[in-house]
Amino acid sequence: MRNSITALSLRMVLLTIGGCALFAPPKTIRNPECGGSAGAMQVMQVLDGGVLATLCSYINDRGGCQNGDHRTYYFIETTRQDFVDGMRVSFGDKCITESGTYSYTTALGAKKTVHKLKFIDGYVSNPEYDIWLRN
């Protein structure tokens, strides 16, 4: 029975035993380390080891950054090398978490400090699901 349950790709399994319904917890859950509801970003400037960007809730049909908070953040990004200024990027199955601060000097000589963010997996294994499988 255990093999047949783990082979299922359904997120919810319903078992009826003696008139009682038992629900399996979801196999994955939203990563508790994920911060905020942003689902995308707009790159303002590409820097060594990351980008300065603003957050967006989503990217609209015309490719615009919608419902952003209009603040600048520094994103640490090591897996992508194709960022360009003005690019809009959806996070997909990733999310963001705060990772300290980043300081820089603008072209006009102003000193700025912004939140440093990094991408992490948006979903992680649900420990309750693992316990449920063992029982």
pLDDT of 10 over the 50 cut:
no
**Binning pLDDT at 50, 70 and 90, where does residue 90 land?**
confident
**Highest mean predicted confidence (pLDDT) among 15-24, 31-40, 100-109:** 100-109
Q: Are 49 and 39 in contact (CB under 8 A)?
A: no
Which two tokens mark 41?
């970003």
Read off the pLDDT of residues 41-75 as tens digits, 9 standing for 90 and up: 888 888 878 889 888 877 777 777 776 667 888 88
The per-residue pLDDT for 108 is 94
The CA distance from 36 to 85, in Å, is 24
More confident residue, 49 or 29: 29
Beta strand ranges found along the chain (DSSP E): 14-17, 20-23, 28-30, 40-47, 50-56, 58-59, 65-66, 73-76, 88-90, 94-105, 111-121, 123-125
| φ and ψ of 103, to 5 deg | -115, 140
The per-residue pLDDT for 78 is 57
Left (φ > 0), alpha (ψ -120 to 50) or beta: where does 19 sit? left
The per-residue pLDDT for 68 is 64
